[in-house]
Each structure stands twice: as structure tokens, then as C-alpha cells.
Amino acid sequence: SQTIHQWPATLVQPVGSPLSLECTVEGTSNPNLYWYRQAAGRGLQLLFYSVGIGQISSEVPQNLSASRPQDRQFILSSKKLLLSDSGFYLCAWSRGGQVLESEAFFGQGTRLTVV
């Protein structure tokens, strides 16, 4: 069976510090990978989307970046965090190569507070 791991679960970082959140998927190959952010009391915003190694689509301009160094590894980074980067970050995967009914499966999320 497929599983998705995301860590850390919670993180408190000072403004201006770097960020690295990691997500790995097991039990599948060539998944589509996603990073979403959910601000307090708001919906999920798609940040990055990847269909393969080194292929990253950025949805919104921001000071975050994403990388996919391996097929089942997705990393969210920032060089300098802003207060507005606080939120609930969710990694997700869906089956690659199939457009229809490709539901997403989520990791447990990282709650980031920038202070």
C-alpha cells in the first residue's frame, strides 16, 4: 500500500530563517506531487506541482521554492521566512499518468509558525 510521510509536524521559526520541509512517498512510482498551504481559517492554496524529477510548476509568486531530487521525494524550501509564510503546509500525491479520478492523498501536514 502507498504511504506518504511529511515532517516535521510542527515548526516554529524566526523571521528571516531558512526553511526545509520534506515529503516522501512509498509504495508507488512516478507520482504527481503537490505542496499546498492552508492559512488559518482559509482554503488550500496550491503552491507547487510536480509530474516528475526536476519538473516543478509554481502556482504563485512567493519566496518559497520546491525541488524534487528523487522520484518520491518533494522538498519545500525558503531562504528567508516571512511572517506571512505561517500556515499549515500539506504535501500530497496522486497517481501519475492518469488524469481521470486521480484523487490526492495527503500527508499529515506541517504547522509552521513564523515569529
Provide the binding-site residues for other proteins, judged by CB under 8 A.
Answer: 32, 34, 36, 42-44, 46, 49, 51, 57, 88, 90, 92, 94, 96, 98-109, 111
Instruction: State which residue, 83 or 99, has the beta carbon closest to other proteins.
Output: 99
Backbone angles phi, psi at 74, to 5 degrees: -135, 130
Q: Which of 88, 76, 77 is nearest to 113 (CA)?
A: 88
Contact 32, 87 (CB under 8 A): no
CB of 99 to other proteins, least distance (A): 6
CB of 94 to other proteins, least distance (A): 6
CB of 33 to other proteins, least distance (A): 10
Instruction: State which residue, 15 or 39, has the beta carbon closest to other proteins.
Output: 39
Residue with grid cell 504547522, as numbered in its chain:
111
Instruction: State which residue, 17 or 30, has the beta carbon closest to other proteins.
Output: 30
| Residue 31: half-sphere exposure toward Cβ, Cα within 13 Å | 26
| Residue 32: half-sphere exposure toward Cβ, Cα within 13 Å | 14
